[in-house]
Chains A and B, each alone.
Chain A
Amino acid sequence: MSASPPPVPLTGTTGAPATVPPFDQVAVRVAPGQDLVVRLPGVLLVVAVTTAAAGPATAPARPALVGWGPAPVPPAPVAAPTGDVHVGELVGLCRRVSAAGSRAPGRRLHEELHGWLLTVTDPPSFAVAAATEDGLALVLVGGGTAEVPDLGLRLTPAEGEKLDNGTLVLDRFVTWPPAALQLSAGAPAGTAPHPLADLEAGAVPGAAAVLSPAPAPTAAGPVPTGTTQLRLPAPHVVTPPLPPPPPRPAAPAPTPRAPEVLAPPAPPHDHAGHGHGDHADHDHGDHAGHDHAAPPAPVPPPPVELPAPKKSTLLFGGTGEPEPPREPLPTPGAAPAAGAPAAEPEDERPQVKGILCKNGHLNDPRAGFCALCGIRTTQQTAVLVEGPRPPLGLLVFDDGATVSLDMDYLLGREPETDERVASGQLRPLLVVDTTGGVSRHHAEIRLEGWDVLLVDTGSANGTLVAPRGAPGWSSLVPGQPVRLTPGMAVRMGGRQFAFESPHGGF
């Protein structure tokens, strides 16, 4: 891979180059056209499609819908995987890398693309930009171009290398340019994109995609909680695009890849089917409003990062798996339901960003001492790395039972009746209360980053919390998460438990 082009302009123009704008938070404007623009978390792809192949292919694929009237003719340049095989493969590859990965899938995508290109004899023209830790990874093939018109920079595959099978490829890691970056797959961009247009996620037809320059890095920028996605103020683009905050802040801090991932599976025929293809290009900064492909709030985001395969949850014990040396989950008092779910390989433990102590143990960035070996963590430069999350603490119930918090829990009288429990996203935690004050689904414990959040899921009698040393109880607003701090006591119905944690401050 070639060296980065001069990082100089960046340093010069934006005062603080130390931070890279969060890829998923800059606006992407789509210029109308026949090619396909795909935006996924961390990845932006523009790929040329052959209209002849794509059009007919999508139409028959749609099931007949009753009550929707005559099927509209789909304008349909969208690459259904059934269309151009290569386009489908490419989109699928991007989607896989984006879904698998970190906030910065650039390097991985770069490698996977390289591998893929070697297997394909006649790849479509495309241009892809993906976030890396400190900039962008660009891959251009065929007629793909990347330009920064304001600075007069232009990259084409001609400047790159020739692969064994004759494909011209340019792949580079570049710093984030301080002006708008335009990606196209070779098609001439007819009309300029509407300044308010913003593709947040999904696949739409278009000739080119314009990636806004960095949003102004604010002081709040480098927040160490790696997995909480923050909505920074919208980028300072030409447009004052309505930053699409409405869905996000309400949803309690989704995990990074969660929000948009919902879109990918659906968009291809949805867009085509409802004839929104063209529509999507032009107007609406409010696309969040009708973006049927990505219903924002109601879907609980965390599940997406959990191990995908659905598995049934063992009830009653199940501590005897030979395989993983994980802690047998202590069964809370009368709670029979807390069996460990069928063996999960350790790699599948949720990943979290933290700092490494000198001896390589992952820790909460806020901790002063390593939780495993006790060494001071403050002597190391805090470089955030991702690794499997250790248990974040434990709940001590009023009958002495303890529950180690290594995944999300649903607390209640009949937690196993919830479908998320059935699908393994949440682990049930039965809270037996003779006073009947505990609802069937009472509250949720969510682990986010290094924080443990408690959410009342609309219980009948409410949930009360009291931080250590607080004079009284305060009740939770349903649906609003509260961060549990060490020593915090929680009451539901006639039961009470306390949260304790070895991590974090004191």
Chain B
Amino acid sequence: MSESTIAPQHARTPAQPGDLTDQLIASDFWTDQMLAEAGIPIIDVPFVTFGGGIGSFVTVDYLRICGVPTSAMRVLTPLKTPWESYEYLTTVSQIPRGERLRSDSSSCPDNIWGFPSYAIREALQGDLKQAWNVLVEPIFANYYTPRAGHAFESMEKEMHRIRYPEMVVHGQVRMVRRRVGGGYFTILTPPEGATPTKRIAYRSQWVHVAVGYPGLKFLPDLQRYRSEHNDYSKVVNAYERHEHVYERLHQRPGTVLIRGGGIVASRVLQRLIDDRDQRGLQTRIVHLFRTYVDKPHGTGILKRRKGADGWAYQGFNYPKSVWGGQLKQQVRTSEGAERKRLYEEMGGTNTPVRRDWQEQLKRGRAEGWYRVMIGSIEDMRPVGDLVEVRASTPDQGEHVGTFDAVIDCTGLEADIREHRVLADLLDHSGAGRNPVGRLDVQRNFEVTGTANGGKVYASGSATLGGPFPGVDTFFGLQIAAQEIADDLIAQGFARKLGPGRSTSQWWKWVRNVQI
């Protein structure tokens, strides 16, 4: 572990003008004077959103449609496009642009009305099968989901329609602090050399935090294997580039160990078996489950979920009712331990069932090239060109096997404190944690405890555990945007989106008129 862990060298000397001072870092509240003394220039803009992913995008989209001019909002982001991060993750986890997403399509990030939906748009372009699918799902067909590329392209169109690029400022957000006299300072570190000073402060009345989740957390044994053996190629996580694994299996037959039973595991398996079928490969797959689900499960007769062959099935990563059914209502009115319990009930690893890979796995089981193991990995080490894995099973003791590759499909999300800005919010701005341990937000997605003559809002995965469950989906982001916009409208920042405005704006959307 030590070799690649380096202490930050030569702590930057404060020679560069406009850097943070110790006094600033230590104070919870800042005055304009303090920033002036530090030489940090201040830019005034009423609404600042940072993160700059899809969360920022849908919020800004909503506000633009509610009549807020581009000059009143700024998006502080290191990303080039709102979907950059998302596209990276879907691509590496085997959903390139041409594949269908595995998440719900109840909403479209490019269209706050949700109409026409992705399926209808596809139908209008001639693919009537998708419209039929939507009609008969989920009984006679699997849930419809849009192609990844479709989602990105339509977002790009909307991005230009609302003149999003005019609002983007590139850089890293370092912290948000409350301002004496009301409002907030958001400290941005622009790319080196882009500005005369090292930092810039945005003084705003509202701040929107949309930094997404802090990142993945690779399992400790994977990290240990990498740092001890300096081998990044044979033990991989499904959320990073691992095309070489497939490439190698193409060149010569091999055995792969898949670990985890979630949505990504299903996608990786499908890729492996697709390759096997299309290229006539002899890939053998061993699938390691930690918990094996062999029958339907759930806490009540109305909350049964299908399960078989190790997988816990569900329409999406949440029960469908979190978006508009009883579960949504139940969570909305719950607090504390009760809410935590509800989250635990609906949470856990589960996988959207899809017929295509169900069929593939069935074939694999019948032909013997897909095998299932229950247990957990104890140790991994490279042996020549292979990896030797020692796994312990609950009932059959220890197993040792060698594999050409290990693909880890477990996606642990890191704690919110791992993100510097979120940690700073917790430490200095009065934010707190919700029952699930993430950022505590109220029903209007205001971060609890941060009010200061203005508000800090948050949306996305960092707020999971709040009154609305599905926050890290497209729909969840849009719900958050809607709640935030409503709250801002009530404070007079944006104009009300009544029936007249909504209709005229929808027609503008349809005709792709820039606003």
Kindly identify, within residues 191 to 206 of chain B, every residue whose CB is under 8 Å from any CB belonging to chain A.
191-198
In the complex, B67 has a CB within 8 A of chain A: no
B247 contacts A500, C-beta separation under 8 Å: yes
**CB within 8 A of A376: which of B198, B229, B419?**
B419
A325 contacts B229, C-beta separation under 8 Å: yes
- A486–B88 CA distance with the chains assembled, in angstroms: 13
Q: On chain A, which size bracket covers the interface?
A: 35 or more
Residues of A within 8 A of B195 (CB): 18
Given A396-B251, A400-B252, residue A387 in contact with residue B4 (CB < 8 A): yes
A388 contacts B4, C-beta separation under 8 Å: yes
In the complex, B248 has a CB within 8 A of chain A: yes
Kindly identify, within residues 381 to 419 of chain B, every residue whose CB is under 8 Å from any CB belonging to chain A.
382, 384-385, 414, 418-419
A382 contacts B172, C-beta separation under 8 Å: yes
- A394–B174 CA distance with the chains assembled, in angstroms: 35
**CB within 8 A of A372: which of B4, B79, B192, B214?**
B4
**CB within 8 A of A378: which of B172, B174, B192?**
B172
A135 contacts B15, C-beta separation under 8 Å: yes
In the complex, B302 has a CB within 8 A of chain A: no
Residues of B within 8 A of A362 (CB): 4, 6
- A369–B232 CA distance with the chains assembled, in angstroms: 14
B196 contacts A15, C-beta separation under 8 Å: yes
B211 contacts A360, C-beta separation under 8 Å: no
In the complex, B181 has a CB within 8 A of chain A: no
Residues of B within 8 A of A325 (CB): 228-230
A346 contacts B172, C-beta separation under 8 Å: no
Residues of B within 8 A of A386 (CB): 9
In the complex, B236 has a CB within 8 A of chain A: yes
Kindly identify, within residues 369 to 418 of chain A, every residue whose CB is under 8 Å from any CB belonging to chain B.
369-376, 378-383, 385-388, 390-391, 393-394, 396-402, 404, 406
A18 contacts B192, C-beta separation under 8 Å: yes
Kindly specify which of B133-141, B215-223, B283-291, B322-330 makes contact with the partner chain: B215-223
Distance from B269 Cβ to chain A, minimum over Cβ atoms (Å): 20
A502 contacts B5, C-beta separation under 8 Å: no
In the complex, B10 has a CB within 8 A of chain A: yes
- A133–B16 CA distance with the chains assembled, in angstroms: 11
In the complex, B92 has a CB within 8 A of chain A: yes
The contact string, 1 if C-beta is below 8 Å from chain A, for chain B 1-20, is: 00111111110110111000
Distance from A442 Cβ to chain B, minimum over Cβ atoms (Å): 20
B16 contacts A346, C-beta separation under 8 Å: no
Kindly identify, within residues 1 to 20 of chain A, every residue whose CB is under 8 Å from any CB belonging to chain B.
4, 7, 11, 15-19
Kindly identify, within residues 342 to 382 of chain A, every residue whose CB is under 8 Å from any CB belonging to chain B.
346, 356, 358-362, 368-376, 378-382
In the complex, A506 has a CB within 8 A of chain B: yes
Closest to A221 in B: B193
B7 contacts A134, C-beta separation under 8 Å: no
**CB within 8 A of A486: which of B84, B228, B236, B243?**
B243
**CB within 8 A of A385: which of B8, B196, B216?**
B8
B233 contacts A404, C-beta separation under 8 Å: yes
A360 contacts B230, C-beta separation under 8 Å: no
Residues of B within 8 A of A16 (CB): 193, 196
Residues of B within 8 A of A400 (CB): 248, 251-252, 254
- A173–B189 CA distance with the chains assembled, in angstroms: 25
Distance from A199 Cβ to chain B, minimum over Cβ atoms (Å): 27
B193 contacts A19, C-beta separation under 8 Å: yes
- A15–B17 CA distance with the chains assembled, in angstroms: 12
- A391–B229 CA distance with the chains assembled, in angstroms: 11
The contact string, 1 if C-beta is below 8 Å from chain A, for chain B 138-174, is: 0000000000000000000000000000000000101
Residues of A within 8 A of B189 (CB): 381
Residues of A within 8 A of B106 (CB): none
In the complex, B226 has a CB within 8 A of chain A: yes
A506 contacts B88, C-beta separation under 8 Å: yes
A11 contacts B420, C-beta separation under 8 Å: no
Kindly identify, within residues 331 to 347 of chain A, every residue whose CB is under 8 Å from any CB belonging to chain B.
331, 346
A506 contacts B217, C-beta separation under 8 Å: no
Kindly identify, within residues 81 to 126 of chain B, every residue whose CB is under 8 Å from any CB belonging to chain A.
84-85, 87-88, 91-92
**CB within 8 A of A380: which of B172, B236, B244?**
B172
B382 contacts A388, C-beta separation under 8 Å: no
Distance from B457 Cβ to chain A, minimum over Cβ atoms (Å): 19
A502 contacts B382, C-beta separation under 8 Å: no
B419 contacts A404, C-beta separation under 8 Å: no
Q: On chain B, which size bracket covers the interface?
A: 35 or more
Given A379-B419, A383-B12, residue A217 in contact with residue B193 (CB < 8 A): yes
B217 contacts A379, C-beta separation under 8 Å: no
The contact string, 1 if C-beta is below 8 Å from chain B, for chain A 166-187, is: 0000000101000000000000
In the complex, B335 has a CB within 8 A of chain A: no
Distance from A356 Cβ to chain B, minimum over Cβ atoms (Å): 6
B193 contacts A18, C-beta separation under 8 Å: yes
- A173–B212 CA distance with the chains assembled, in angstroms: 42
Kindly identify, within residues 465 to 502 of chain A, every residue whose CB is under 8 Å from any CB belonging to chain B.
486-487, 498, 500-502
B211 contacts A134, C-beta separation under 8 Å: no
In the complex, A247 has a CB within 8 A of chain B: no
In the complex, A328 has a CB within 8 A of chain B: yes
In the complex, B344 has a CB within 8 A of chain A: no
Distance from A318 Cβ to chain B, minimum over Cβ atoms (Å): 13
In the complex, A436 has a CB within 8 A of chain B: no
In the complex, A245 has a CB within 8 A of chain B: no
Closest to A331 in B: B385
In the complex, A92 has a CB within 8 A of chain B: no
A134 contacts B230, C-beta separation under 8 Å: no
Residues of B within 8 A of A284 (CB): none
Closest to B247 in A: A396
In the complex, B239 has a CB within 8 A of chain A: yes
A486 contacts B241, C-beta separation under 8 Å: yes
In the complex, A279 has a CB within 8 A of chain B: no
A388 contacts B232, C-beta separation under 8 Å: no
- A376–B212 CA distance with the chains assembled, in angstroms: 10
In the complex, A419 has a CB within 8 A of chain B: no
B226 contacts A487, C-beta separation under 8 Å: no
Residues of B within 8 A of A388 (CB): 3-4
Closest to B52 in A: A378
B241 contacts A372, C-beta separation under 8 Å: no
Distance from A395 Cβ to chain B, minimum over Cβ atoms (Å): 9
The contact string, 1 if C-beta is below 8 Å from chain B, for chain A 441-463, is: 00000000000000000000000
- A398–B189 CA distance with the chains assembled, in angstroms: 46
- A501–B92 CA distance with the chains assembled, in angstroms: 12
In the complex, A326 has a CB within 8 A of chain B: yes
Closest to A218 in B: B193
- A368–B84 CA distance with the chains assembled, in angstroms: 10
A399 contacts B252, C-beta separation under 8 Å: yes
Closest to B195 in A: A18
In the complex, B227 has a CB within 8 A of chain A: yes
B6 contacts A396, C-beta separation under 8 Å: no
- A387–B6 CA distance with the chains assembled, in angstroms: 7
User: Can you list 24 A-B contacts (CB < 8 A)?
Assistant: A18-B198, A134-B16, A222-B192, A330-B385, A356-B8, A369-B88, A371-B240, A374-B215, A374-B240, A376-B212, A376-B215, A378-B172, A379-B214, A379-B419, A380-B172, A381-B189, A385-B8, A388-B4, A390-B230, A402-B244, A402-B248, A506-B87, A506-B88, A506-B91
> 3 shortest A-B CB distances, which residue pairs?
A400-B252, A500-B244, A374-B216
Residues of A within 8 A of B (CB): 4, 7, 11, 15-19, 107, 133-135, 173, 175, 217, 219, 221-222, 325-328, 330-331, 346, 356, 358-362, 368-376, 378-383, 385-388, 390-391, 393-394, 396-402, 404, 406, 486-487, 498, 500-502, 505-506
Known A372-B4, A374-B239, A375-B418; 19 more pairs at CB < 8 Å:
A7-B17, A222-B193, A371-B232, A371-B240, A372-B227, A373-B223, A374-B217, A374-B218, A379-B211, A379-B215, A380-B172, A388-B3, A390-B230, A391-B230, A396-B244, A402-B248, A500-B247, A505-B88, A506-B92
